[in-house]
Amino acid sequence: MTSLQIPVDILPLDGRFGAGPSKVRAEQIDHLIEHQDILGTSHRQAPVKDLVGRVRTGIAELFNLPEGYEVVLGNGGSTAFWDVLAASLIERRSAHLSFGEFGAKCVTSASAPWLDAPHVVKTEPGTVGHFEPVAGADVYAWPHNETSTGASAPIKRVEGADDGALMVVDATSAAGGIAMDPHDFDVYYFAPQKNFASDGGLWFALLSPAAIARVEKIAASDRHIPPFLSLQAAVENSRLNQTLNTPALATLLLMEAQVEWMNQLGGLDACAHVTAHNSHLLYSWAESHELLSPFVENPEHRSPVIVTLDVDSRVDATVLTTILRANGVVDTEPYRKLGRNQIRIATFVGVSTDDVERLMSSIDFVLAHLLGEGS
């Protein structure tokens, strides 16, 4: 059955639906080739520094950052930033929403011996928890979009939080695909391999003036901070359009092309409109489907960029995703540790509506064959 061929006229033109690394648009590759003279040149010289500067300016424009907010970057991806958070941002104690794998990993990093044990609001995968104010918490941390489950949390300041408590958001898969107001966060961090359709390995963080002040305060304290985890060092380097150590130049070029394209689309609101439209097509299709249903029950928490759909037990989702993969439609498998009979589809900004529609037709085609086979 895995040799089942999906008719070419309903196959997506681009079969990449993965949650990251995600589909890279052809225009980004063109941009990379056009600027290939930058590859293999010093990151301490003007051409690369100008590139970093254009990416930082483009991001500030995309997110419509208020006066005083800064775009900072460093190496190591979002996973490295969790340790940056523990080393450079949490003063004594953090509070977390944990409703999936990525939120839980952030808690692990924040459980550092030099900090008080974090306060954790843990809820079931597919749900989104809610913060009550926690006395003594100087950081509230949560994922904007939990990529392992397809649940998305609102971005708003915690009412009743201690004065000066920072709102720190893991926006790795949300950034650029979901609208929010930058006044509602102090730190919004992400990596380039999701909506930005670039490669992994870097982290970007949007920092409010309060976050920058906190970074300076901790850097000036007697805490030992490994240089790689020093956000102060990253802030200082970023202001010079540099990174502490060598960044991947091709990644920055792919990123530049995508940020430019997103700004041309009309900025964050326009991008969020695209992802909302495409994800809505999938959710409404699944809601009226005999064999599919949205995993996240509360429609308000259904992610516009990561669509998780449970598959009826009459069909083995692994067979479905294997057939799709054999036909060039890849990475629709669910998050490995979730362990559900499920498919997961990324509807990042660069994924076209036409391909989402073709994907639904392709899945319907395969499901019809699988059901026919079973009866």
Ligand X SMILES: *Cc1c(COP(=O)(O)O)cnc(C)c1O
> Given the structure tokens 């590139």, which residue do they identify?
51
Give the range of 129-137, 165-173, 242-250, 365-373 binding ligand X by CB under 6 A: 165-173
Q: Whole-number minimum distance, CB 248 to ligand X, in Å?
A: 12
Interface size with ligand X, residues (CB under 6 A) = 12
Residue 109 identity: S
How far is the C-alpha of 20 from the C-alpha of 69, rounded, in Å? 27
- Number of Cβ atoms within 10 Å of the Cβ of 259: 23
Phi then psi dihedrals of residue 202, to 5 deg: -110, 160
**Nearer Cβ to ligand X (88/173):** 173
Contact (Cβ atoms closer than 8 angstroms) between residue 360 and residue 332 = no
Q: Whole-number minimum distance, CB 273 to ligand X, in Å?
A: 21
**Nearer Cβ to ligand X (15/200):** 200
Q: Whole-number minimum distance, CB 147 to ligand X, in Å?
A: 3
Please report, as residue ranges, which positions from 93 to 152 form the binding site for ligand X (by CB under 6 A): 102, 143, 147
Out of 98, 109, 173, 258, the residue judged to bind ligand X by CB under 6 A = 173
Sequence-ordered strand ranges (E) for the chain: 70-75, 94-98, 119-122, 139-143, 145-146, 151-152, 166-170, 187-190, 202-207, 292-294, 306-311, 342-346
Q: Whole-number minimum distance, CB 21 to ligand X, in Å?
A: 9
How far is the C-alpha of 33 from the C-alpha of 126, rounded, in Å? 41
Out of 29, 57, 60, 79, the residue judged to bind ligand X by CB under 6 A = 79
Out of 172, 238, 278, 279, the residue judged to bind ligand X by CB under 6 A = 172
| Six token digits for residue 204 | 């970007």
Out of 14, 138, 170, 199, the residue judged to bind ligand X by CB under 6 A = 170
Q: Does 78 bind ligand X (CB under 6 A)?
A: yes
**Nearer Cβ to ligand X (196/283):** 196
In order, the DSSP letters of 98-157 are E-SHHHHHHHHHH--TTSPPPEEEE--TT----PPP-TT--EEEEESEETTTTEE----P
Q: Does 200 bind ligand X (CB under 6 A)?
A: yes
Q: Does 18 bind ligand X (CB under 6 A)?
A: no
Out of 15, 77, 247, 294, the residue judged to bind ligand X by CB under 6 A = 77
Give the range of 77-85, 127-135, 257-265, 329-337 binding ligand X by CB under 6 A: 77-85
Q: Whole-number minimum distance, CB 77 to ligand X, in Å?
A: 3
Q: Does 12 bind ligand X (CB under 6 A)?
A: no
Q: Whole-number minimum distance, CB 140 to ligand X, in Å?
A: 16
Q: Whole-number minimum distance, CB 47 to ligand X, in Å?
A: 26
How far is the C-alpha of 295 from the C-alpha of 127, rounded, in Å? 10
How far is the C-alpha of 372 from the C-alpha of 375, rounded, in Å? 5
**Nearer Cβ to ligand X (93/144):** 144
Contact (Cβ atoms closer than 8 angstroms) between residue 29 and residue 250 = no
Out of 20, 58, 150, 294, the residue judged to bind ligand X by CB under 6 A = 20
Give the range of 72-80, 88-96, 151-159, 312-320 binding ligand X by CB under 6 A: 72-80
Is the peptide bond prior to 21 cis by the omega test (within 30 degrees of 0)? Answer: yes
Give the range of 27-35, 54-62, 169-177, 278-286 binding ligand X by CB under 6 A: 169-177
How far is the C-alpha of 201 from the C-alpha of 80, rounded, in Å? 9
Cα dihedral across residues 95, 97, 98, 102: positive or negative: negative
Q: Whole-number minimum distance, CB 301 to ligand X, in Å?
A: 15
Give the range of 166-174, 177-185, 205-213, 232-240 binding ligand X by CB under 6 A: 166-174
CB-based contacts of 233, cutoff 8 Å, min separation 6: 227, 244
Q: Does 334 bind ligand X (CB under 6 A)?
A: no
Give CA 331 to chain center in angstroms: 16
Which residues form the interface with ligand X (CB under 6 A)? 20, 77-79, 102, 143, 147, 170, 172-173, 191, 200
